Every structure is written in C-alpha cells, then in structure tokens.
Amino acid sequence: MSHDIGNDTGGGGILANKMLWLIVGAGIFVVVGFILPTPQSVIDIVDKYGFANKLIDWEVATDLPNAARKTMIVLGLIPMAVIYFATEALPIGLTGILMPILAYFLHLLPRKMIGKTFAGDAPMFLLGVLAMGVAVVDVGFHKRLASWLLGWTKGFYVPIFVLCIGMACIGSFISAHAMCAFMTPVMAAVYFGAVSSKSKGGKIEHDPALAKFLLFTLCYSLNVGGIGSPAAGGRNVIMMGFWEEYNVPMDFFTWMKYGFPIVPILGLMVGVYMLFFFSKNIKTKDLTPGLAAIKEETKKMGSMSYKEYVTAGMLLLILLLWIFAGLGLGGPSLLALLIPVVFKTTDWKKILSGISWDAWFMYCGALTLGALLKESGAAMWLAQTFLEILGKVNMDQGFGLWVGLSGFSGLVTNFMSDAGTTALLGPIVIPMGIMTQHAGEPWAVGMAVAFATSFAHFLIVGTPNNAIVYGLGKYPDTGENMIEPIDFVKYGFGIWLLSMAAIWFLGFLVMFNIIGFPPDILEKATAVLQSGTIQ
C-alpha cells in the first residue's frame, strides 16, 4: 500500500534552516549568560531573597556576584530552549537532555539535585502514561472507547463540539493527562477511518490538516478544563493551601462556582477557533465513515476479550490510585509498564518501541529548566520585574492586577510546570493582593494566577498533555508523527490569547461579580499578614 502524507507546517523556509537556529539559540545564550553585565536588579533579588546564600551553601557559587552570574546563565537558557524546542534545531529529546548537561557542566545546581529534577515523580508519570497509550492501542481498546464516547455522533461538526465540550468538562474532574493518553489513539483511529473511506486504489490519501485539527482540538479542550475544579490539577490545590495559611480557606464547591461555568464555553471556543484555523485546509469534512468504521470493527471484535478486560482494569486501577491512594502520579502510572507484561496482554519490546522517548526526554529537560528557574532566583527576578511594570502602568490593583498577573503566570506556565508556577507565584501575589485592600482579595488574585496556569498551549513542554499528543499522535499506517513542535507555537498562541481573554472577561468581570466574595476574607487575610505569621 502506498502512502501520501503532506506536511504543511515547518517544512520549509527559514524554519527549516536548522544550523541557523542552532547558532542563533547558542548565540543568545552566550550573550545573556556570559557577556551582558549583570543588572543590579538581578543582584538585589538574588541577595534579598536568599538565593545567593543558598547557592553558596550548596557550593554552586563563591560569592554574591558569582551567584548573580549563575542566575544570568539560567536566564540565557530560556530563549535558547524556546528556539530549539520550536524549530527542532536539535531533536526535541536532545534539547531536553541539553538542560541537565548544561546544569552539570556549568554547575548551576548541586549535581545530586540535577539528577532528581530529571527523574522525579513527573517523568515517571509521563513514562507510564506513554506506555499506557501503547497498551490501549495494542489490544484495540481505543476503538471501544471511541465507539462509546463518539459512536452516536455523525457528520463533522457534531462530533467535534461533543469532543470539545465533553473533554473540557471531564478534564475538570479526571486527570486530563490520562484522558489525553486514552483519547489520542482514538483520534488517530477516527482520522484513519475517515481518510481511508475516501482513498481509492489501495492508496491512502492523508489529510495532515485534519490530523492536526483533531489532536490539537483534543489537547486544548483538556487544557482549558483545568479551571473547573480543584480536582483538575495540583496547581489549584496548592493555591487553596496558600489561602488556608491566611485563614481564608475555600472549599471544593465554591471553587467550582467560579470556574466550572466557564469550562463549557472555553471548550466551545476551542472548537470554533480550531475550525477557523483549519477548516479551509481540511479535505475530509465528514467523520462519520471513521466513526462507523470503528463501530464496525468493534462489532467484529465481539465481546470484550481477556486482554481488553485486563487493559480496562489497569486503567481503572491507575485512575483510582491517582485519586484516592495518595501515592502521587508517578508510582501508579508505572503499573502501565508492569501489568501488560505480567498479564501477557502486550509484549515488553512492543511497549519499549512504542514509547516516544523523544517526548519523554524533552519533558524531563523542561523539568530541569523549571528547577533552575526556581532555585537560581531567575523566576523570582522575572516576577518582580513584571510586577514593577504593572505598577508603572497603573495595573497594581483590582481588574488590572488580575489581568497582569494572570497574563504573566500564563506565560510562565509554558516554560515550567503549572504546579511549579503556582507554587512560585502564590507566596508573592497573595500578600500583594491583600495589600491593595481590594474587595475579594486574596481569593481573586489567587484564582487569577491558578486559572491561567491551565493554559500551557503554545510550547510543547508546557504540559504533559502537549507531550502526550505529540508522542502518541502518529499516523496508524506509517508511524510518523502527526504534529511537529513548531505546530504548538503556530496554533497554540492564538488559543492562548483567547483563553486569557475569556477568563479576564467571563471570569473576572462576570463570575467574580455574579458569585461575589465573602465580605470578611480581606479582613481575615489582612489580620494574618499584619500579625507577621506568614513571612
């Protein structure tokens, strides 16, 4: 059988000049990290907040100027990493490995700590999720999932909007990363069934625009569901923990009142945006054959087999362990490597060959970069610099402050984990919100930051969801990737802007006013701040 796969992104022009971008990225890194003089503001931040003392205690730096220079080196890593991840000047997995390599050789962190950043709970989680996707596809369970979730829909627009709204709402309560792993093979199967029905003479006429459209629609719908409830992610729970420290706790249902009504609208917005971006280039605008083909294959499969029952049980077990066992994400996820082999549903070598190691190394490197930003003081300097800018443009309280801080946290979360972003910014923005003495603080400023960290749309390293659709999103007949890293920048930045605008207006101007805030939270939080209990 012959194949015809076009490539409509990143295949030519200046982006294809890998050597150019390799030199540009390295040049910016050298200039920022080693040539530019260290700004006094960097020295002040590193000194004031104890980063210099910490780096000296770790024997990473010898004195204050040397510690500030290490911070500059980390700041230089950011543009280089973005350029390399977006243009694939180096393979994305190798760019990921480059982060700990530079951290080791430039001694940016204690060497024992560097290894931990590259192999903690989050990398184990992603490894397990990628293996989970391989196991689901190998036994054909993804076809049953497709039949159950989308089999009743027909045409093109109905399946898409059911997918968008359904995944956004589900992603508010169930691990979006798990749903992404389950549904990415489903989208690939629906795609292949749709294009196969139009292909003639044994030649598969691929439709790359449709493939990208389906995967990005799934990914971004799950991303935006993150604002719906505390169960959507650790970032929300972290922010709730900060509020408790200021004696203004928020319960699960109250969070939902502010966030969940916006989720279906965000899901609908994703669908409309993706249709606007891709509609003209999509050749196959009827998913019915793909859905029908999957339903027919599911019927031919008969009742669920032993392998499918084992796979379904594995998925349910891992999900329950994530929710109730308190074991973190990584440990339960690794069962996806063990169970299929022990119960002989998927061959070990097939799991190893099916995992996208490129995506895994890329994500591990992003975690190292996030640790470097946090521990060196680079992230703190970026945050303080941005807050000073907000003050100069009169966005230092109320709606202006919420817009500014959410915009900043939304940017940062594309470079480091959502939980890490919230953990970093929460202790800074909550007292800042209280000091404005604006009604609704510190809940308002805290939700502004936490909501925005769900929108890691435009860099492949921003969230495991992005890495999962990249790693598992392959053409079923050729095994080639359906999307490229540059596609996240190309299509993700616009939906990021729309997502931010949606929470600014629907969240801050509508829901904050409709739901309101308890009248005593500002008074309680102010009392704690003034007592000096929170440092």
- pLDDT tens digits, 419-460: 777 877 887 788 888 888 998 999 999 999 999 999 999 888
> Judging by beta carbons within 10 Å of its beta carbon (0-12, 13-18, 19+), is residue 63 exposed, middle or buried?
exposed
* DSSP secondary structure, 260-290, as one string: GGGHHHHHHHHHHHHHHHHTTT-S----HHH
* Banded pLDDT at 15 (limits 50, 70, 90): low
Please say whether the beta carbons of 203 and 402 come within 8 A. Answer: no
> Is it the case that residue 369 has pLDDT exceeding 90?
no
Whose tokens are 């440092």? That residue is 535
> Is it the case that residue 533 has pLDDT exceeding 70?
no
Residue 9: per-residue pLDDT: 40
Distance set, CA 468 to CA 21, 138, 425, 494 (Å): 25, 17, 26, 21
> Is it the case that residue 512 has pLDDT exceeding 80?
yes
Residue 179: per-residue pLDDT: 80
Please give the structure tokens belonging to residue 352. Answer: 């190893």
CA-based end-to-end distance of the chain:
67
Q: Which of 205-214, 320-329, 406-415 is the least confident region? A: 320-329
- pLDDT tens digits, 71-130: 999 999 988 987 887 787 888 889 889 999 999 999 999 988 888 877 777 788 778 878
* DSSP secondary structure, 449-473, as one string: HHHHTT---SSTTS-HHHHHHHHH-
Residue 68: per-residue pLDDT: 95
Q: Which of 6-10, 12-16, 33-37, 103-107 is the least confident region? A: 6-10
Give start and end residues of each alpha helix (H) in 343-484: 348-354, 357-376, 378-392, 398-412, 418-435, 443-452, 464-472
Rounded Cα distance, 317 and 350, in Å? 22
Give start and end residues of each alpha helix (H) in 88-175: 92-105, 111-118, 121-138, 141-150, 157-170
> 77: Cβ–Cβ under 8 A, 6 or more apart, which residues?
29, 33, 99, 102, 369, 372
> Is it the case that residue 244 has pLDDT exceeding 90?
no
Residue 3: per-residue pLDDT: 43
- pLDDT tens digits, 386-422: 778 888 888 878 999 999 999 989 998 887 777 777 8
What are the residues facing 3 on neighbouring strands? 204
**Mean pLDDT, the chain, whole residue set:** 86
> Is it the case that residue 304 has pLDDT exceeding 90?
no
Residue 463: per-residue pLDDT: 84
Q: Which of 209, 191, 181, 82 is closest to 486 using CA atoms?
A: 82
> Is it the case that residue 316 has pLDDT exceeding 50?
yes
Q: Which of 35-49, 194-208, 237-251 is the least confident region? A: 194-208
- Percent of the chain residues topping a pLDDT of 90: 42
* Banded pLDDT at 476 (limits 50, 70, 90): confident
Please give the structure tokens belonging to residue 282. Answer: 């999509």
> 118: Cβ–Cβ under 8 A, 6 or more apart, which residues?
100, 364, 365, 367, 368
* Banded pLDDT at 13 (limits 50, 70, 90): low
* DSSP secondary structure, 472-526, as one string: H-B-TTT--BS--HHHHHHHHHHHHHHHHHHIIIIIIIIIHHHH---TTHHHHHH
Rounded Cα distance, 475 and 279, in Å? 20
Task: Say whether 88 sits in a helix, a strand or coil.
Answer: coil
Q: How far is C-alpha 2 from the geometric centre of its chain's CA atoms?
A: 36
- pLDDT tens digits, 251-262: 888 999 999 999
> Is it the case that residue 250 has pLDDT exceeding 80?
yes
The residue-averaged pLDDT of 321-328 equals: 76
What is the Rg, in whole angstroms, of the alpha carbon atoms belonging to the chain? Answer: 24
